[in-house]
Amino acid sequence: MNRLLEIKDLSVVFDTPDGSVKAVNNISLDVDRGECLAIVGESGSGKSQTFLTAMGLLADNGRSAGIINLNGSDLLNMQRNDLNKLRGNRIAMIFQDPMTALTPHMKVGEQIREVLDHHQGLGKKAACEIIREMFNKVNIPEPDRRMEMYPHELSGGLRQRVMIAMALICKPDVIIADEPTTALDVTVQAQIMDLLNEIKTEIGAAIILITHDLGVVAGIADRVAVMYAGSIVESGEVFDIFYNTKHPYTLGLLNCSLSLEKKIDFLEAIDGHPPNPNNLPNGCPFNPRCKNVRDICREEKPEIKIKKQNHSSACHFELGVK
Ligand SMILES: Nc1ncnc2c1ncn2[C@@H]1O[C@H](COP(=O)(O)OP(=O)(O)OP(=O)(O)O)[C@@H](O)[C@H]1O
Ligand code: SF4
Ligand SMILES: [Mg+2]
């Protein structure tokens, strides 16, 4: 059976004066209704570009190849008009910085009304009623007063909630949340994560949660895909990622995550930096930083392979097996 959103063999390359930047390299993943897939990896690993491509928001110097299928619609080869009908309606994105999505000089109520008008042709009265309900759902107090405010008049936490309300207003099938809480303080972060969890259950949407911190995914994700240098290096159910870790990079991320108690002591943290995507190392892209590296790792790139049902990893070796 087809999954709600399926990405197959997606590659994204940027043309720059310094050569081609391979931001995403042949990745495949999928997500279904009522499910949360977390995409985890360090800065520059290709998390955002994967899903900006799905939203048709790739920069002008970017090229993509592969398949992105949303419920039978081929997002990569769709006419701009048709994509505009899906975007915000069937697939929506929540950004790290609300100002990416909000227009500074428009009252927030008006902005959300525009979305409802564009996708559902709703008049002002009906739209206000729906916005009021949505503001209540995302815990924005005094919804009528807030609708009349400009983005800069709201606190960071409220701006983030307004953007979430805007993303949810048409009850999309897929919600992509790209580092939705990084700019917020810890209490508000927890509230926003609780909110996403509720949405997953209540609306039955598929949620893709992009983050660099494995610690935040424990309470919300069903499955996790770990990205490194544009490739998925491990994917599986959240329990397996945490407790049956297969890839040395994932293990490093787990150890880096402050919110997790340290469970393994032989790889304390990840030394070094991710590689430059226009000059990836030969063999396994993680080899310059890997404490388990052996000769073959510098020669052959390991393919991602199923190690156990629903659990895949791209490493020549089994962790812990010498
Ligand atoms: N327009 C562009 N031209 C050239 N390179 C680009 C462009 N946009 C993104 N990149 C590069 O693509 C790579 C992947 O970027 P991406 O934004 O997907 O990373 P990310 O995993 O989301 O990182 P972060 O956690 O910092 O948001 C990075 O090396 C980035 O510099
Ligand atoms: S293939 Fe080699 S370098 Fe890459 S993660 Fe596995 S052990 Fe480390
Ligand atoms: Mg990003």
Indicate the domain borders of the chain: 5-90+170-313
Q: What is the Å distance from ligand 2's center to 222 Cα?
A: 26
Give, rounded to a whole angstrom, the gap between the first and last alpha carbons of the chain: 39
Per the CB < 8 A criterion, the answer to whether 205 and 172 are in contact is yes
Is any ligand 1 atom within 6 A of the Cβ of residue 275?
A: no
Cα angle 150-154-155, degrees, rounded to a multiple of 5: 155
Closest protein CA for atom 27 of ligand 1: 43
| Residue of 280, 315, 321, 322 best suited for mutating to test ligand 2, as the one with most atoms within 8 Å of CB | 315
Judging by beta carbons within 10 Å of its beta carbon (0-12, 13-18, 19+), is residue 215 exposed, middle or buried? middle
* Ligand number, closest to the Cα atom of 305: 2
Q: Whose CA is nearest to atom 3 of ligand 2?
A: 287
CATH 3.50.50.60 describes domain 5-90+170-313:
no
The number of the ligand 1 atom at minimal distance from the alpha carbon of 42 is 25
- Half-sphere exposure at residue 313, Cβ-oriented, CA atoms within 13 angstroms: 20
Ligand 1 centroid from CA 49, angstroms? 6
What is the token pair recorded at 260?
């997790």
pLDDT digits (tens), the chain, 322 positions: 569 999 999 999 999 998 999 999 999 999 999 999 999 999 999 999 999 999 999 999 999 999 999 999 999 999 999 999 999 889 999 988 888 889 999 999 999 999 999 999 988 999 999 999 999 988 899 999 999 999 999 998 899 999 999 999 998 999 999 998 877 777 877 888 888 888 888 888 999 999 988 888 888 899 999 999 999 999 999 999 999 999 999 999 988 875 445 444 434 568 888 999 888 999 999 999 999 999 999 999 999 999 888 999 999 998 765 5
CA–CA separation, 274 and 226 (whole Å): 14
